[in-house]
Structure 1
Amino acid sequence: MEAHAVPGEGADVQVWILGSSGGVSAETAGRNGLRFAANYHVSPAAVLEAAEGYRAAFKPSAELERPYLTVSADVVVAEDEETARELATGYGAWVRSIRTAEGAIPYPTPAEARALPWTDADRQLVADRVETRFVGSARTVADHLERLQEATDADELLITTITHGHADRVNSYRLLAEEWHRRSAA
């Protein structure tokens, strides 16, 4: 018996290009008429450039007649602003570990994060990521996401929640989904 396994064979596979600037990735996606995902959460300062570069280079294809843009964002949602900020405490230390030779550490609890040594250089290293997360109540975060969607004219948003506790991540997604549904139903 011979096996024949080809991932995606027979499926309606969508090809996406992922990028964080208006450079080669955005232009390649646009020139080839493919979907493009822009990393706001990785390179927030370049997301508008990426969206514009993609649209400027876009040529219709058998895949797409018009550009299709997804924009990613990191969010932490909780019942109130203070709880959300507490759940997000470990983010800076985690990003620092990724950006240094240390390598990604397990996402720290708020107490573990507060106990880690922290310098001005560390704050500078992660400022772009920490300052552009959307952290707060569902209403606050949904307001930020609506502004991001409007600024980029994204067709969809890709949301990532990173917290120490799994239940907190699930709750963050649930609260945001409920708020988003409430707004779309209004």
Structure 2
Amino acid sequence: MVDIPLSALEVAMVQTGTRALDTLRDTAEFAQELERLGYRRIWYAEHHHSPAIGAFPPVVLGTHAAASTSAIRLGSGGVLAPNHAPITLAEQFGTLAALHPDRIDLGIGRGPGTFDEATARALRRGAGPTTDAEYRDDVAAILSFLVEEVALGPLPQPWLLASSPAGAGLAAELGLPVAVAHHIRPENTRAVLERYRAEFTPSRWSGQPRVLLCVEVVAAETEEEARRLIRPMDVVKAGLLKGISDIPFPTPDEAAAHPFTEPERAALAGFRAQQAVGTPEAVVARLRELAGETGADELMLTTPVHGLRERVRSYELIKKHYEA
């Protein structure tokens, strides 16, 4: 049996008919509930200009949650380096780590956090997509500023997010723990892990390879209920398959009436088979299977359903059966 720590990625979905403010108000209660359940950490993702996801800066959400909890680790999963000056990220997360010692993570990613080109350019003050060399320089600068400029006490733990072998190679080169985006590109997971472990160089940040695997997960008392809860996210994913990125996050009832094409159904089924959706017993069995296959040191669960009660219940059911 594989039993490793469980954590959570908060994506802050905003369901049709509600306000982003409603989602924002739920974040502190969500952190309190997961701390009560014994989850190791919560990370907050950076997104922009999406009708389905709140544009809430990870450092702000982390600060808000840290003020209402006492033990759970908090951080970014991830903050997107090309959108920010490296010294600003170092100052923000260095300050947060000083205020909440040994509780703060700085997960760094590369993407723009939006599918809207104008928004991406605005975030980067008119610059185009970052190159591999520029991204490497940004990450290295963040690490340097953390140590040399803003070390106020305990430093945040840096992680690098990776969904491709190139990202894995950078994490290995810099000696960083890696967070593998299995919930985004499961087809790349094996190659990411192989490169990361083969090329890892010890550093002050980690003496050995350290892997966190992020998985899309929904657990409910019945298979039917779990499928009902995940269907709104299926609608959003089906839109992305067609290059449509501005689809609102529907309610479960709206999603139940959504017609999928046969190619969409096949693509969604293939993706879902790599994740964990169903009864708690089935979800926990799948998580243990993934942990065994990948050798992950930690599993991070992302549960893209809107209702706070349904999300917390999913995490509660998983923790109960995982520890049984």
Tell me the distance in 1 between the aligned counterparts of 2:262 and 2:214: 27
Which residue of 91, 95, 100 maps to 1:6?
Answer: 91
Quick check: 1:41 aligned with 2:178? no
Residue 106 of structure 1: which of 248, 270, 274 is its match? 248
Alignment partner, residue 120 of structure 1:
262
1:63 aligned to 2:205? yes
Is 1:25 matched up with 2:110? no
**Separation of aligned partners in 2, 1:123 and 1:138:** 24
Q: CA deviation at 1:81?
A: 1.9
TM-score (norm 2): 0.51
Partner of 2:125 in structure 1?
none
Alignment CA distance shift 1:99-1:48 (3 Å): same
Question: Which shows bigger deviation, 119-128 or 84-93?
Answer: 119-128
Q: Indicate if the aligned counterparts of 1:107 and 1:163 stay in contact, CA closer than 8 A.
A: no
- Structure 1 residues 123 and 108, CA, compared in 2 at 3 Å: closer, same or farther? same
Alignment of 1:142-161 (within 5 A): 142-161=284-303
Question: What SS does the corresponding residue of 1:157 show, helix, strand or coil?
Answer: strand
Distance 2:248 2:258 in 1: 13
1:72/1:58 CA distance change after superposition, 3 Å? same
Report runs of 4+ in structure 1 exceeding 6 Å deviation: none
SS at match of 1:18: strand
Deviates more, 1:40-49 or 1:129-138: 129-138
| Counterpart-to-counterpart distance in 1, 2:93 and 2:261 | 47
Question: Contact between 2:232 and 2:251, CA under 8 Å: does it hold in 1?
Answer: yes
Could you tell me whether the CA contact under 8 Å between 1:48 and 1:151 is conserved in 2?
Answer: no
Name the aligned partner's letter for residue 211 of structure 2.
L
**What's the % identity of the aligned pairs?**
34
User: Given that residues 75 and 141 in structure 1 are in contact (C-alpha distance below 8 angstroms), is that contact kept between their aligned partners in structure 2?
Assistant: yes
- After superposition, the CA RMSD in angstroms is 2.0
The gaps in structure 2 that reach 5 residues or longer are 1-89, 95-151
In structure 2, distance between residues paired with 1:12 and 1:57: 25
**Residue 70 of structure 1 aligns to a residue in which SS?**
strand
Specify the alignment match of 1:15 in structure 2: 158
The answer to whether the 8 A contact 1:92-1:130 is kept is no
In structure 2, relative to structure 1, the CA distance for the partners of 1:104 and 1:134 (3 Å cut) is farther
* Equivalent in the alignment of 1:129: 271
Distance in 1, matches of 2:233 and 2:91, equals 38
Q: What is the identity, as a one-letter code, of the residue corresponding to 2:256?
A: R
Preserved contact between residue 91 and residue 130 of structure 1 (Cα < 8 Å): no
- Larger mean Cα displacement after TM superposition, 80-89 or 151-160: 80-89
Instruction: Write the deviation string for residues 130-183 of structure 1: whole angstroms up to 9, x where unpaired.
Output: 33231111111011000101111001011011124221111101111122232x
Distance 2:246 2:295 in 1: 32
**What SS class does the counterpart of residue 64 from structure 1 fall into?**
coil
* Cα deviations by residue, 1:39-89 (Å, 9 ceiling, x for unpaired): 111111211111111101101112111100000100110112222122222
SS in 1 for 2:92: coil
Note the residue ranges of structure 1 that are not aligned, 5 or more in a row: none
Give the residue type in structure 1 aligned to 2:155: D
SS of the counterpart of 2:93?
Answer: coil
- Paired AA for residue 41 in structure 1: H
Say if 1:85 and 1:38 are closer, same or farther in 2 by CA, change over 3 A: same
SS of structure 2 residue aligned to 1:15: strand
